[in-house]
Structure 1
Amino acid sequence: MAKTDTLTVDQQKLVQAWTESLPTVLNASDKAEVKADEADANVIWVHIATAGHSFYSFDFKCTYVDSREVKVELIDVERDGRNVDERTDTIQTMVDDYVRHIHECAQLLQAVTNR
C-alpha cells in the first residue's frame, strides 16, 4: 500500500504558521526565525538564537515526512558568530531540547498541515 499522506499546504502559509507557533513552545527569551526552503516545498529552516550570556544560535532543517511528522536535522551551532563543537554535553542537551520543541510545534500545526 502506497503512502499518500503528503504535505499539501502552501509553503508561505506553513512558514507563517511556524513563525507564529514556534515561540509559544520555546523559552520566552529565545528568538526563532523560520524560512522556506526555495528548492523543496516540504522543507523549512528554523534558526533559534538563545538569550542570555551564551549567545548560541542553532540552525535546523525540518523536512515534512508526511502531513504530521517532521524529520529534524541539526545543521549548525554557533556561539557569538563562530562555529562550535556541537558534541559537548551542554550543546547536545540544548539541541535535544530544541528538537523536542520543534516536534511539539509540528504537533500543534497539524490542524494546518493535516488536511
Structure 2
Amino acid sequence: MNSELNVGQEVLVGAWQERLPTILKPGDRAQVAADLANPQGLRIHIEAAGRQDYSFDFECRYVDSREVQVKLVDVERAGVVVDERNENVQGMAGDYTRHIHECAQALQQITHP
C-alpha cells in the first residue's frame, strides 16, 4: 500500500533543485519551483545543453509518497514554442521524463520514510 506524501512543498523543491541536476546530462540546466495550483506538485524547467537552444517545461505531481506523474507542458526553441510531436523533441522529452522519474526514486528517502 502506498502512502500519501507528507513532505512540505518547500522541502521538496529544495531536494529536487539539489538532486535533479546530478541526474541530467552535463550542461543541461534545471529549475524546480512549487506548483502553486497543487501542493503535491512541482514545475520543472529544463534547458537542454548544446546549440539547439531547447527548453522543456514539465508538471510533476506526486500521486503518493513514491510515485510521480509527469506531464510535458511545453517545449520552446530559442524562446519560441515548438511542435512537441517532432521526433527529436519527443526523444528529448522522453529522456527528461525518465530523468524526472529517476530523481523521484532517488528522493524516496525523504518522501517515503
Contact 2:2–2:66, Cα closer than 8 Å, also in 1 = no
Superposed CA offset, 1:40-97 (max 9, x none): 1100000000121100000000010000100000000000000001001100000100
1:37 pairs, out of 35, 48, 52, with: 35
Aligned equivalents of 2:86, 2:13: Cα separation in 1 = 31
Q: TM-score, normalised by structure 1?
A: 0.95
Amino acid at match of 2:25: N
2:60 pairs, out of 59, 62, 66, with: 62
Identity %: 54
Partner of 1:109: 107
Structure 1 unaligned residues grouped into runs of 5+: none
Partner of 2:14: 16
Partner of 2:26: 28
The runs of at least 4 consecutive aligned structure 1 residues that moved more than 4 Å come to none
Q: Give, in angstroms, the shift of residue 39 of structure 1.
A: 2.4
> What root-mean-square deviation, in Å, do the aligned CA atoms of Structure 1 and Structure 2 show?
1.0
Q: TM-score, normalised by structure 2?
A: 0.97
Contact 2:43–2:57, Cα closer than 8 Å, also in 1 = yes
Contact 2:62–2:69, Cα closer than 8 Å, also in 1 = yes
Amino acid at match of 1:81: G
